[in-house]
Structure 1
Amino acid sequence: MAMPLASETSHTVRKTLEFVQHHRLAKGDRLPSERELSERFGVARSSVREALAVLDAMRITERKPKSGIFLRNAVEDGGLDALVLQADLGLAFDPQVTRDVTEARIICEGRALQLACQRRSDADLAKLHGLLDSYAALIEAGGNPADADVDFHLAMVAASQNRILVRTLTPLMLMSRRWRQRYFQSAEICRRSLDDHRAFVAAIEARDEAAVATLVRRHVQTAAADVRALAEQGGAPPTETA
Structure 2
Amino acid sequence: MEQANKERSLVSKVMDGLVTGIVEEKYGAILPPQDVLSKEFDVSRTVMREALSMLLARDMLDVRPKIGTRIRPMSDWRMIDEDVVNWRFRSKPDPLFVRDVIEFRILIEPRASAQAAARGSAADIAAIREAFEAFRVIRPAESGYQAADELFQTRILVASGNQFFRQMAAIIRGALSTVNPIVNDTQISWETAVSSHQRVVEAIERRDPKEAEIASLAMIDHAAEEMAGAFSTQPSTRV
Q: Is TM-score (shorter-chain normalized) higher than 0.5?
A: yes
1:12 paired with 2:18, answer yes
Distance 1:194 1:51, change over 3 A: same
Shift of 1:217: 2.0
Residue 44 (structure 1) aligns with: 41
Q: Which residue does 1:201 correspond to in 2?
A: 201
Contact 2:182-2:230 within 8 A present in 1 as well? no
Q: Which residue of 1 aligns with 2:147?
A: 147
1:149 partner amino acid: D
Q: What residue is the counterpart of 1:28 in the other structure?
A: none
Change beyond 3 A, Cα 1:54–1:87? farther
2:89 corresponds to which residue? 87
TM-aligned CA distance change 1:214 to 1:36, over 3 Å: same
Residues 227, 38 of structure 1: alpha-carbon distance in 2 compared, 3 angstrom cutoff? farther
TM-score, structure 1 as length reference: 0.70
1:105-148 alpha-carbon deviations (Å, 9 max, x no partner): 111111111111210111122112222222233349x7662210
Q: Within the alignment, does 1:127 sit opposite 2:133 as a pair?
A: no
Equivalence for 1:157: 157
Task: Describe the superposition over 1:5-43 as per-residue Cα deviations: whole angstroms up to 9, x where unpaired.
Answer: 75x7645324345378x54x8xxxxx542245679xxx3
1:167 shift after superposition: 1.2
Are 2:62 and 2:72, in contact at CA under 8 Å, matched by a contact in 1? no
Does the 8 Å contact 1:83/1:175 carry over to 2? no
Checking the alignment, whether the CA contact within 8 Å between 2:95 and 2:231 is kept in structure 1 is: no
1:83 CA drift (Å)? 4.1
Q: Which moved more, 1:50-59 or 1:109-118?
A: 50-59
Q: 1:55 to 1:226 in 2, by over 3 A?
A: same
| Greater shift in the superposed pair: 189-198 or 68-77 | 68-77
**CA distance 1:108–1:147, shift in 2 (3 Å):** same
In structure 2, relative to structure 1, the CA distance for the partners of 1:12 and 1:222 (3 Å cut) is: same
Please tell me the residue identity of whatever aligns with 2:21.
K
2: distance between equivalents of 1:192 and 1:225? 12
Distance 2:44 2:232 in 1: 35
**What are the equivalent positions in structure 2 for 1:50-199 lying under 5 Å apart?**
52-61=52-61, 69-71=68-70, 74-80=73-79, 81=81, 82-88=84-90, 90-93=91-94, 95=96, 97-139=97-139, 145-177=145-177, 180=180, 184-199=184-199
CA 1:45 to 1:55, structure 2 compared with 1: closer, same or farther past 3 Å? Answer: farther
C-alpha separation between the residues in 1 aligned to 2:192 and 2:156? 18
Q: C-alpha deviations, 1:26-69, integer Å up to 9, x for none?
A: xxxxx542245679xxx3363992763552342322568x9885
Query: Given that residues 59 and 72 in structure 1 are in contact (C-alpha distance below 8 angstroms), is that contact kept between their aligned partners in structure 2?
Result: no
RMSD of aligned residue pairs (Cα, Å): 3.9
Query: Residues 140-188 of structure 1, C-alpha deviation per residue, up to 9 Å, x if partnerless?
Result: 9x76622101100111121111222011133232244267457545333
SS at 2:172 equivalent: helix
Number of aligned residue pairs: give it: 218
Q: 1:52 to 1:128 in 2, by over 3 A?
A: same
**Cα contact 2:85–2:170 (8 A) shared by 1:** no
Give TM-score scaled by structure 2 length: 0.71
> C-alpha displacement at 1:100, in angstroms?
2.5
% same residue: 20
Q: Which runs of 5+ in 1 are unaligned?
A: 26-30
Report SS of the residue matched to 2:229: helix
